[in-house]
Structures are given as structure tokens and as C-alpha cells.
Amino acid sequence: MPIQDRIRIVVLCFAILATAGCLTPAPAPPPPAPPVPGYVVGAPDVLLVTVLPEPEISREVRVRPDGMISIDLIGDVQAAGRTPFEIAAAIQQEIGRFKRDASVNVMVVESPSQFVTVYGEVVRPGTFPLDTDTRLSEAIGRVGGARPFASLNSVRVIRTVGNKTEVIPIRLSDISEGNLSTNIAIRKGDLIIVPPTLLAKIGYAVQMVLFPFQPFISIGATAGSIARGAQAF
């Protein structure tokens, strides 16, 4: 091939690459996080309730499954579905009959009611507490990241608010390239699904057909290793 033709081909390749670069979408910022009106307590959160003046009452109480907590002098108080300020106001109103000029403070010590679940093609599927403001990419990172056969632009967030369920599409691959338009703020109770690629689905189906007893073999091998270890002692 003449040298002129080779030069034309190289120039054409550079032109195509430059055009492709121009067509790449500009990075997009993440959507704004929704306003947070205040932490809403739920079971099984742990609260620190302090009642002044002297004699001071200070108790750590866990919110029961029925949403109630037990407080000295007044008994059960509704906690689930209220903010700490609202709980303190309810306690103060009731305990005022027994302690003059009572002042009540309620603090959240543990908040396991705020949780997020991630499953599918991630390293460590499971549930973790939502103890800080968390974006979708951070939530995936907290479970070890996506596995090699994850369909990154087919991630979904299942969110239930009241009686309504919303499915939010997420493009995790785009997020990794700087387009943060789907890097939403995660809320308590969100379910994040990271599905496998079509090729991975086919591979899993073939594996189940060809090796249907593999899970049982793995369990048997593990049990055998444990037994041999026990015999060694």
C-alpha cells in the first residue's frame, strides 16, 4: 500500500476518534438530595431519654416492635413515627404531672431502623444501616462494589413511600464516567438491585443445567473439611 494511502488512513482514524470525543456527553452533576425534615424514629432504635430537674432520670430505651418505649413514672410512650423532639414533647407533657418544670431531652443512640438492602451482582449482598447521607455509588461501594458480570446501566432502586412503590433506573457505568445524573441520594428502606448481564444470565442457566448438584457438593466438601479438622485435634 502506498505511503500516501497509509497516511490518509491514519488521518481518518484520528478524525473519527476526535469526532467520537466531541460526541461524549458532558459530565452531569448529581440530583439534589431531598430536604430532610428530621430523623424519624423506628423500631429497634435505641434512645437516650433524660428528664430534669433533680432527681434526674436518664435511661437508654429500645423502641419495641409495637413502636412504644417505657419511661419511669408515666409508662409507655409512642416513639416510632415521631422525631426525637416530638417524643420529648410527649414525655414532657405526661411527666409534668409528677415533676414540676420538667425538661425532657431525647437523643438517638443507635439507629438500626434506617437500613438499605443491596443484592444481585455485588461482592457482599446484604443490608447495612443508613447512618450518614449516602449516594447510590457510595451504597454500592459499601457492599464491596459491583462484580465483573454486573449490568451496570440496568441497576434499579425500589423505593416505597407510603402506599406507593417507585422503580428508579440507575446508570452506574455512566456514574463512573462522570455523569452523576442518576447518582441519587439513598433513603431508608431502599432496595438496590444490581442485575447480571444477559451473557451472565445465560451462563448461570447453563451452570444450573450442567451442574445442578454443585451447591450440595460444595456443602459436602465444607463439611468434610470441618470433620477432618476436628479429627486432627
pLDDT of residue 222: 42
For 46-110, CATH number out of 3.50.30.40, 3.30.1370.60, 3.40.50.300, 3.30.1950.10 equals 3.30.1950.10
In the prediction, which pLDDT does 26 show?
A: 58
Instruction: Evaluate if residue 204 carries a pLDDT over 70.
Output: yes
What CATH number does domain 115-200 carry, 3.40.50.261, 3.10.560.10, 2.70.98.10, 3.40.190.10?
3.10.560.10
pLDDT at 99: 84
Domain-wise residue ranges, the chain: 46-110, 115-200
pLDDT tens per residue across span 124-165: 999 888 877 889 999 999 999 999 999 999 999 999 877 889
What is the per-residue pLDDT across 186-203, written as a single tens digit (0 to 9) for each? 988 899 999 999 888 887
Global confidence as pTM: 0.60
Residue-wise pLDDT for 76-90, tens only, equals 999 988 999 999 999
Lowest-pLDDT choice from 28-37, 64-73, 162-171: 28-37
pLDDT of residue 233: 39
Confidence band, pLDDT 50/70/90 cuts, at residue 72: confident
Kindly tell me if the per-residue pLDDT of 9 is higher than 70: no
pLDDT of residue 136: 94
Q: Which three cell numbers stand for residue 25?
A: 456527553
